[in-house]
Amino acid sequence: MSWRTVVITQHAKLSYSGRMMIVQTDSKIHSIPIEDISVLMIATTQAVITSALVAKLSQNQSKIIFVDNHYLPVSETCCYYSSSRTLESLRKQFGWDEYRKENLWTHIVAGKISNQTSVIESLGIDTEDLEKEADKLEFGDATNREAVVARKYFELLFGSGFKRRSDDEEECVNAALNYGYSIILSSFSRAIVANGCLTHIGIHHSNNQNEYNLASDLMEPFRPIIDLYVAVQNFTEFSRSIRMSLINLLNQEIQLNGQKMRISTAIEKHVSNCIRFLNGDLDNIEIEVDFTDEVQSYEINGHV
């Protein structure tokens, strides 16, 4: 399985030769095995890429992400599905049992709220209000506790005047959150495709303009990882070092269901477990993500 995230931040030509990605800058030439590349992020408008490289990365099911002048991802390649996308796998996805979908969504929301509570607790802030809301969670989140908790959670995390906005590119905290979420979303969509499923068909999200509804669903318990990292940095500028650290955060180790692994690996296992549950191959689903100690000890300077 590919594992490396490659980020291009300066003037460069990207090409393909001999099963390698060739990165030619003004001063150096780098060679990286295609099979190692999970994500290629082109974080500059001063880079060119050949169609041969795009084709080879696509064959490897590698994501290519492009950013805008605010350094926020604006598009990514969507590869044709691998041979794992059989007619049978699509029949299973379109036939997912409604009860199982509601059951999984309940576990996802419970996991997200639990992780949000852990984030607040790790920062020494009282969690009683969030815990009360968690106790009100019903099957399928019929009373929308996810949204209620989110409003209270972000004010506890970033102050009473903070407003969470997905379209805010100027305010540095929202910009960092958006950037981190987009990195995780891309990893989730890649894992979903690797499991032979369509990213468009979600279990809760159903926006006709969102090509990643299923990824948006499954990633929810992992969002607080980004939240905690952004909160503890206490930065005033959305700098290059912050962006690079958010990308490299995928290589940080956490615990998923009691097992220690990289975040990138945890995403793959979590997606696989969720799809197996929806397909009826698993009777029960477990979503326990433990990350507060690891993320708080993650240093910017050691990962740039």
Measure the CA–CA gap between 189 and 191, rounded to whole angstroms.
Answer: 5
The residue among 169, 160, 216, 150 whose CA lies nearest residue 67 is 169
Q: CB-hemisphere CA count at 13 Å for 169?
A: 8
The continuous run of DSSP H or E covering 28 comes out as none
The continuous run of DSSP H or E covering 74 comes out as strand 73-76
User: Which amino acids are annotated as binding site, given as ranges?
Assistant: 146, 205, 220
* CB-neighbour burial class of residue 281 (10 A; exposed 0-12, middle 13-18, buried 19+): exposed
* CB-neighbour burial class of residue 197 (10 A; exposed 0-12, middle 13-18, buried 19+): buried
Alpha-carbon dihedral 53, 41, 183, 211, rounded to 10 degrees: -50
Beta bridge partners of 67: 73
Beta-carbon count within 10 A of 151 CB: 12
The residue among 43, 19, 13 whose CA lies nearest residue 32 is 19
C-beta separation of 175 from 72 below 8 A: yes
User: Which amino acids are annotated as binding site for Mn(2+), given as ranges?
Assistant: 146, 205, 220
C-beta separation of 238 from 176 below 8 A: yes
Beta bridge partners of 24: 13, 29
